[in-house]
């Protein structure tokens, strides 16, 4: 086979992963990292919120890799404040490769959902050392089929750019993700709209960002000439862009645990009342009476959450949440979160107010009707109970069976006659 100039290019290919908040970038990275592709990748993660949550979500999967992966984190908007950090990270990788400590098959940069990919891409053409070491292979844009139209339509203040439009315009390939959430007719309409912004980039439909790593990595998609044709100012480093100032990120980090019921109603109420303005919510929560971390995500009103791995023995229990959205009232978000904290004093008080003490003889409304027994424990919890749930009593029935009363009322448990 005849080798093209690009085939023999020894520089490390770089993929910029972009796409609006919640479109599926981390899901794609997790998919790439768990898939056996035999490539040694460096991942550069960038988050808009001050609290890193994606690294916690990614860490789990990287453990699955036999080869050590390199993950670098940067906070802030990659296209503004941390662009210089990106250069530093790239130079550090270059030094390791030059020393022979590291052989790299690719670099993937996950930008924040609010980043304009152009200035990130620019880095690979204006920084000489970076240019010698790496080449921009492609800008891959994740598109959330459910929410993209709303973001493309968003009215921006004078002078501020629409990041969703920029992300589509600069894509070398688009992954139209979350196809499970819309109908065929919607997909056709969206594809037409995407094509009207960017005629060149192929569009691949997918769910859960499930595409072959080969269709994302080393695709030789980026073409500087075409980009300059579209944006003659592309290489002009002076031309700074402006973000919409009404879009902010609010992070909460709180030691201790939350009350599961209260936190659920807090999150659900936010989704219901502020779902349009909150683009993105993410969190890792420490739930009282629960050994596992609760990890959740929301993109507008679509919520997904689950109990993930257990807290380590010596790990400090702390909850971390990030909200990104329009017109966020940071104080209110924090205040209401604080109200959902687990209150040890209230818990003790509840315990003191229980009607029965350990040793009291009671009758319980068990599965086969009323049965006699003795209270053996107050505020009882077992791992088979729903997360965060504590039963007021554990009771030993006269036949020896251990049961629990889920509530302290006469319909379920009463004084033995």
Ligand X SMILES: Nc1nc2c(ncn2[C@@H]2O[C@H](COP(=O)(O)OP(=O)(O)OP(=O)(O)O)[C@@H](O)[C@H]2O)c(=O)[nH]1
What x/- string results for residues 134 through 163 when contact with ligand X is judged by CB under 6 A? --------x---------------------
For the bound state, the minimum distance from the C-beta of residue 322 to ligand X, rounded and expressed in Å, comes to 8
By CB under 6 A, name the one of 75, 177, 286, 319 that touches ligand X.
177
Q: Is 113 in the site for ligand X (CB under 6 A)?
A: yes
Residue 402 CB partners (closer than 8 Å, separation 6+):
376, 394, 395, 396
For the bound state, the minimum distance from the C-beta of residue 276 to ligand X, rounded and expressed in Å, comes to 17
Q: 217-220 long-range CB contacts below 8 Å, 24 or more apart?
A: 217/13, 217/15, 217/32, 217/37, 217/39, 217/41, 217/106, 217/108, 217/137, 218/13, 218/106, 218/137, 219/15, 219/137, 219/138, 219/140, 219/172, 219/173, 220/6, 220/137, 220/138
By CB under 6 A, name the one of 15, 23, 251, 363 that touches ligand X.
23
For the bound state, the minimum distance from the C-beta of residue 16 to ligand X, rounded and expressed in Å, comes to 13
- Sign of the CA dihedral with 325 first, then 330, 335, and 337 last: positive
Q: Is 249 in the site for ligand X (CB under 6 A)?
A: no
For the bound state, the minimum distance from the C-beta of residue 146 to ligand X, rounded and expressed in Å, comes to 8
By CB under 6 A, name the one of 207, 218, 237, 248 that touches ligand X.
207
By CB under 6 A, name the one of 13, 24, 106, 283 that touches ligand X.
24
Q: Is 27 in the site for ligand X (CB under 6 A)?
A: yes
Q: Is 22 in the site for ligand X (CB under 6 A)?
A: yes
Strand partners, 106: 41
Q: Is 299 in the site for ligand X (CB under 6 A)?
A: yes
Alpha carbon distance 321, 252 (integer Å): 5
**CB count in 10 Å sphere of residue 81:** 11
Six token digits for residue 388: 């965060």
- Name the segment binding ligand X (CB under 6 A); options: 32-40, 126-134, 207-215, 404-412: 207-215
Residue 108 CB partners (closer than 8 Å, separation 6+):
14, 15, 17, 29, 32, 41, 42, 43, 44, 217
Q: Is 21 in the site for ligand X (CB under 6 A)?
A: yes
What x/- string results for residues 46 through 65 when contact with ligand X is judged by CB under 6 A? --------x-----------
For the bound state, the minimum distance from the C-beta of residue 22 to ligand X, rounded and expressed in Å, comes to 4
For the bound state, the minimum distance from the C-beta of residue 25 to ligand X, rounded and expressed in Å, comes to 4
By CB under 6 A, name the one of 13, 15, 18, 25 that touches ligand X.
25
Six token digits for residue 337: 């979160």
- Do the Cβ atoms of 371 and 364 come closer than 8 Å? yes
Of 149 and 231, which CB lies nearer to ligand X in the complex structure?
149
By CB under 6 A, name the one of 209, 286, 319, 378 that touches ligand X.
209
Give CA angle at 103 (75, 128), nearest 5°.
60
Q: Within 13 A of 18's CA, how many CA atoms are on the CB side? A: 29
Q: Is 26 in the site for ligand X (CB under 6 A)?
A: yes
- Name the segment binding ligand X (CB under 6 A); options: 32-40, 126-134, 158-166, 201-209: 201-209
Burial, 184: exposed, middle or buried (Cβ in 10 Å; 0-12, 13-18, 19+)?
Answer: exposed
Cα dihedral: 342, 345, 350, 352 (round 10): 150
Which residues in this chain contact ligand X in the complex, by CB under 6 A?
Answer: 19, 21-27, 54, 113, 142, 177-178, 180-181, 207-209, 280, 297, 299, 304
């Amino acid at each position: 086979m005849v080798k093209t100039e690009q085939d023999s290019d020894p520089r490390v290919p770089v993929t910029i992963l972009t796409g609006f908040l919640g479109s599926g970038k981390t899901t794609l990275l997790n998919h790439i990292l768990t898939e056996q592709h035999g490539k040694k990748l460096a991942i550069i993660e960038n988050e808009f919120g001050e609290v890193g949550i994606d690294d916690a979500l990614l860490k789990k999967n990287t453990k699955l890799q036999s080869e050590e992966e390199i993950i670098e984190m940067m906070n802030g908007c990659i296209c503004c404040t941390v662009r210089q950090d990106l250069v530093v990270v790239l130079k550090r990788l270059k030094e390791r490769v030059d020393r022979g400590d590291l052989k790299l098959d690719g670099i993937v940069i996950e930008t924040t959902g609010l980043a304009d990919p152009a200035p990130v891409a620019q880095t690979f053409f204006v920084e000489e050392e970076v240019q010698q070491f790496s080449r921009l292979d492609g800008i891959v844009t994740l598109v959330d089929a459910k929410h993209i139209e709303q973001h493309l339509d968003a009215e921006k203040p004078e002078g501020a750019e629409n990041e969703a439009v920029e992300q589509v315009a600069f894509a070398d390939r688009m992954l139209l993700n979350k196809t499970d959430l819309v109908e065929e007719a919607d997909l056709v309409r969206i594809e037409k709209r995407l094509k009207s912004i960017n005629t060149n980039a192929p569009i691949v439909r997918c769910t859960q960002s499930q595409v072959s790593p080969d269709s994302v990595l080393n695709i030789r998609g980026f073409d500087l000439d075409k980009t300059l044709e579209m944006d003659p100012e592309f290489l002009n480093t002076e031309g700074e862009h402006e973000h919409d100032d009404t879009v902010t990120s609010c992070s909460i980090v709180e030691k201790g645990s939350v009350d599961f019921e209260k936190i659920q109603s807090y999150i659900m109420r936010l989704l219901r009342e502020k779902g349009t303005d909150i683009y993105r919510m993410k969190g890792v929560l420490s739930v009282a009476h629960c050994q596992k971390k609760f990890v959740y995500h929301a993109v507008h009103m679509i919520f997904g959450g689950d109990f993930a791995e257990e807290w380590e023995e010596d790990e400090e229990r702390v909850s971390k949440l990030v909200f990104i959205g329009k017109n966020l009232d940071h104080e209110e978000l924090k205040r209401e979160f604080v109200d959902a904290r687990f209150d040890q004093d209230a818990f003790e008080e509840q315990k003191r107010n229980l009607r029965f003490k350990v040793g009291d003889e009671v009758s319980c409304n068990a599965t086969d009707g009323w049965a006699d027994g003795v209270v053996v424990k107050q505020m009882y919890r077992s791992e088979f109970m729903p997360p965060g749930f504590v039963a007021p009593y554990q009771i030993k029935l006269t036949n020896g069976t251990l049961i629990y009363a889920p509530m302290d009322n006469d319909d379920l448990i009463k004084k033995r006659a």
